[in-house]
Amino acid sequence: MTITVKFFASLREQIGTNQLKLTLHTPLTMEQVWTSACPNTPLPEYLLMALNKEYVQADAIVKEGDEVAFFPPVTGG
């Protein structure tokens, strides 16, 4: 099954792409999606996540056709 993974803002810079497709053989959590999508980049300690445009926690389960988005904390002003 295929999912879409999107990276926003500084994560896009860090990963070097704003989007990739990922083929899964089993349902994964959001956290496991990060590890599969970016095997060379450790999961950031502070990371915000959305599943199908809904804000979720790291243990949310990702299924076929889902869209996962990762974005960084922002506090500047």
Can you give the binding site for other proteins, defined by CB under 8 A?
8-10, 12, 18, 46, 48, 50, 53-55, 69, 71-77
How would DSSP label each residue in 45-73? SS-EEEETTEEE-TTPEE-TT-EEEEE--
Q: Is the CB of 9 or the CB of 61 nearer to other proteins?
A: 9
Identify the sign of the CA torsion 31, 50, 42, 63.
positive
Q: 23 has which bridge partners?
A: 2
CB of 52 to other proteins, least distance (A): 9
- Choice between 25 and 53, CB closer to other proteins: 53
* Residue 21 or 25 having the CB closest to other proteins: 21
